[in-house]
């Protein structure tokens, strides 16, 4: 980290920076201590005993290394479901389970459930508290203004045992750690908590944008968690600016916003300001929205959104709206565990590297070669490498052991070692395993897509049509983005397939996709209607010719089930005969399908 004059760094920031230095200099010792604490805290658990760890009192680290298996969600799902159904014995964690965090990763089409404990909120809050001390080293003076951050809560459900199940960010925003936070000039947000916590996403977004516009000259940074969410906000602004300007002109909020606490919170900052309304109108009504962020929030220094991983597809759109404002990725986290932060937040998106903070959990790594762990299909814990032993340039799959009671759990992320800060490695986020399509937080794999397509094509049977080949891609150029399927059909020319049947096919695919996808479509509106593009006969032969011309082997060639924007998509698009969109949103309800059926829980 760069040296800044000590006087410019507030005391709390110095403490945070000293902490980062300390834990990255003593990474091995800290990791050793963390593992010891986790094993001691959870020594009484059934899981540890099942694996022979606490047979003779407090488990020791050597037996953990020797005996604890590497697991995926499906391996521990039976234990998790016991907790969800009310078994309060110490199964995974020695501490009481406080709630379930619902991951955007799915299993069997439903969100994965991560049991968590109260203490984890302290750890997450601590990681958040490190972000501004680091940022202040690169962009000083952020305490002189505000941050316009668009944050949202999502719906929650209850497990049959009565424990709340909700996304980790919803859990955090609703916690006392967020709501009762002391004033901090470096984290002065334009959005009132009431707007962030409003369960109606339309009212929440409206109020947050209104407040962001009201104090636009004070705004020094803007952001959201993921790039897709920030772009959605710009699109919302494109639709609602006349109404927002009217509110600012008159000093009264549109009556569509009915949430009382939101109205009261906004009323505290909303006063008639016809001059401001005129200036905003002037910018918004210009033909192009290029650089709109800089134009509306002229003192903004950067856009704080995650643009690593699949979110990289949104970089061109953000550059367009942001007028090339720097994009900063500050942290890397998940429902299982918050991992770390970017110690060089003003670097280019392609250079972002996250430093895992060794106090957050115990981190191990499976080397990945040729796309699979260690290049072999069978692997075990002997293959695991400790945090301090990873090698520069090598790719690894992240495996975590947490205070909440996950042991050697495969998160599903592949990371590459980009460098070191002291002894702590810094990782590029390479990819999430098995994700074919993603627009927002949805993660659809090939298997799931294939099943959905197989199911949908039944609609074509009465017309004597059948699917010859298909592929898919995530179209991030529309807002919101949407899934596109290219279908090549063999058709019976005497019974043409009516357009409504293709539309039914679009909806049938969507109905079969996972709950995170369907929630994004139906509830959050963060994903647009799925599209099927029918391509001319022979298109997939052309695709094969193209692949062979690029060096693919004819014996091994298989049509890809998913393609990325580029020459292949261009080839496919050049042979499209007709396009169809899903006519309505697929069904979605909060909570697991099983709970709502068996227990009437929502
Ligand atoms: P969830 O389980 O829904 O909390 O999602 C966590 C996952 O989101 C991680 O395992 C990553 O795959 C992804 N993710 C989180 N932070 C980042 C980041 N900074 N860059 C890329 N992907 C991220």
What is the 332 CA–ligand 1 centroid distance (Å)?
6
Ligand 1 atom, smallest distance to 432 CA: 12
Q: Which residues in the chain show pLDDT less than 50?
A: 4-5, 597-602
Protein residue with least CA distance to atom 8, ligand 1: 334
Q: Which two structure tokens, joined as six digits, stand for 27?
A: 């990474």
DSSP state of 269: T
What is the 426 CA–ligand 1 centroid distance (Å)?
16
Q: Which two structure tokens, joined as six digits, stand for 317?
A: 């759109």
- Residue pair 415/398 in contact (Cβ under 8 Å)? The answer is yes
Q: Which helix (H) or strand (E) holds 221?
A: strand 219-226
Protein residue with least CA distance to atom 13, ligand 1: 334
Question: Best substitution site from 107, 127, 152, 306 to test ligand 1's pocket, by max atoms within 8 Å of Cβ?
Answer: 306
335 lines ligand 1 (CB under 6 A): yes
Ligand 1 atom, smallest distance to 411 CA: 10
168 lines ligand 1 (CB under 6 A): yes
Protein residue with least CA distance to atom 22, ligand 1: 309
Amino acid 60: pLDDT: 82
225 lines ligand 1 (CB under 6 A): no
Break the chain down into helix, strand, coil percent, rounded to 5.
Answer: 40, 20, 35
306 lines ligand 1 (CB under 6 A): yes
Give the C-alpha separation, 49 to 46, whole Å: 5
Helix ranges (DSSP H) in 216-268: 227-250, 260-267
What is the 416 CA–ligand 1 centroid distance (Å)?
15
Terminal CA-CA length for the chain: 47
Amino acid 453: pLDDT: 98
- Residue pair 45/92 in contact (Cβ under 8 Å)? The answer is yes
Q: Lay out the sheet containing 531-535: strands in order across.
A: 466-475, 482-490, 531-535, 576-581
Bond preceding residue 497 cis, omega within 30 of 0 = no
Q: Could you please report the per-residue DSSP string of 75-100?
A: HHHHHHHHHHTT--S-SS-SSPP-EE
- Residue pair 239/166 in contact (Cβ under 8 Å)? The answer is no
Question: Best substitution site from 429, 445, 514 to test ligand 1's pocket, by max atoms within 8 Å of Cβ?
Answer: 429
- Residue pair 521/511 in contact (Cβ under 8 Å)? The answer is no
Protein residue with least CA distance to atom 6, ligand 1: 334
Amino acid 2: pLDDT: 54
Q: What are residue 490's DSSP bridge partners?
A: 466
- Residue pair 389/268 in contact (Cβ under 8 Å)? The answer is no
What is the 155 CA–ligand 1 centroid distance (Å)?
19
341 lines ligand 1 (CB under 6 A): no
Protein residue with least CA distance to atom 2, ligand 1: 103
What is the 364 CA–ligand 1 centroid distance (Å)?
17
Q: Which helix (H) or strand (E) holds 535?
A: strand 531-535
Among left, alpha and beta (phi > 0; psi -120 to 50; other), residue 229 is alpha
Q: What is the pTM of this model?
A: 0.94
The Cβ of residue 541 has, within 10 Å, a number of other Cβ atoms equal to: 13
Tell me if residue 460 falls in helix, strand or coil.
helix
What is the 333 CA–ligand 1 centroid distance (Å)?
6
What is the 335 CA–ligand 1 centroid distance (Å)?
8
Give the C-alpha separation, 531 to 534, whole Å: 10
């Amino acid at each position: 980290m760069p040296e800044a004059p000590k006087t410019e760094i507030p005391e709390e920031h110095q403490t945070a920076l000293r902490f980062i230095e300390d834990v990255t200099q003593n990474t091995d010792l800290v990791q050793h201590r963390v593992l010891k604490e986790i094993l001691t805290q959870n020594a009484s658990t059934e899981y540890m005993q099942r694996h022979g760890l606490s047979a003779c009192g407090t488990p020791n680290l050597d037996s953990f290394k020797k005996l604890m298996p590497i697991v995926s969600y499906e391996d521990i799902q039976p234990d998790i479901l016991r907790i969800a159904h009310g078994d309060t014995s110490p199964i995974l964690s020695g501490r009481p389970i406080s709630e379930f965090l619902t991951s955007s990763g799915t299993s069997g089409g439903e969100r994965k459930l991560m049991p968590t404990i109260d203490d984890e909120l302290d750890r997450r809050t601590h990681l958040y508290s490190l972000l501004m001390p680091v940022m202040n080293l690169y962009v000083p003076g952020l305490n002189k203004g505000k941050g316009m951050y668009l944050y949202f809560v999502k719906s929650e459900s209850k497990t049959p045992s009565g424990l709340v199940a909700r996304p980790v960010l919803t859990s955090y925003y609703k916690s006392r750690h967020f709501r009762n936070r002391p004033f901090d000039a470096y984290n002065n947000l334009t959005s009132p908590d009431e707007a962030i916590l409003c369960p109606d996403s339309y009212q929440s977004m409206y109020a947050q944008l209104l407040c962001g516009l009201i104090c636009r000259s004070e705004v020094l940074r803007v952001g959201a968690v993921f790039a897709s969410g920030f772009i959605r906000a710009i699109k919302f602004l494109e639709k609602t600016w006349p109404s927002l300007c009217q509110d600012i002109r008159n000093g009264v909020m549109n009556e569509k916003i009915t949430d009382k606490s939101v109205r009261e919170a906004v009323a505290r900052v909303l006063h008639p300001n016809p001059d401001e309304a005129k200036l905003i109108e002037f910018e918004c009504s210009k033909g192009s929205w290029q650089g709109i962020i800089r134009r509306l929030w002229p003192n903004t220094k950067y856009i704080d959104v995650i643009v690593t991983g699949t979110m990289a597809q949104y970089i061109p759109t953000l550059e367009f709206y942001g007028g090339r404002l720097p994009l900063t990725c500050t942290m890397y986290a998940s429902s299982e565990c918050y991992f770390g932060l970017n110690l060089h937040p003003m670097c280019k998106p392609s250079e972002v590297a996250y430093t895992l903070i060794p106090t957050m959990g115990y981190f191990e790594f499976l080397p990945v070669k040729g796309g699979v762990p260690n290049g072999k299909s069978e692997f075990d814990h002997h293959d695991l490498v400790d945090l301090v032993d990873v090698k520069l340039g090598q790719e690894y799959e992240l495996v975590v052991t947490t205070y909440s009671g996950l042991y050697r759990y495969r998160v599903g992320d592949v990371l590459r070692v980009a460098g070191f800060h002291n002894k702590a490695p810094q990782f590029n986020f390479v990819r999430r395993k098995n994700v074919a399509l993603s627009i927002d937080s949805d993660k659809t794999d090939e298997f799931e897509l294939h099943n959905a397509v197989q199911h949908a094509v039944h609609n074509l049977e009465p017309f004597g049509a059948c699917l010859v080949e298909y592929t898919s891609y995530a179209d991030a150029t529309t807002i919101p983005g949407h899934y596109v399927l290219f279908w090549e059909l063999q058709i019976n020319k005497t019974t043409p397939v009516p357009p409504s049947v293709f539309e039914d096919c679009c909806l049938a695919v969507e109905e079969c996709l996972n709950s995170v996808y369907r929630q994004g479509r139906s509830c959050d509106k963060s994903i647009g209607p799925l599209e099927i593009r029918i391509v001319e006969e022979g298109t997939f032969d052309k695709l094969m010719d193209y692949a062979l011309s690029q060096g693919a082997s004819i014996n091994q060639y298989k049509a890809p089930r998913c393609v990325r924007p580029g020459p292949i998509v261009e080839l496919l698009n050049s042979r499209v005969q007709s396009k169809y969109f899903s006519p309505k949103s697929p069904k979605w309800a909060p909570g697991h399908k099983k709970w709502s059926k068996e227990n009437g829980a929502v």
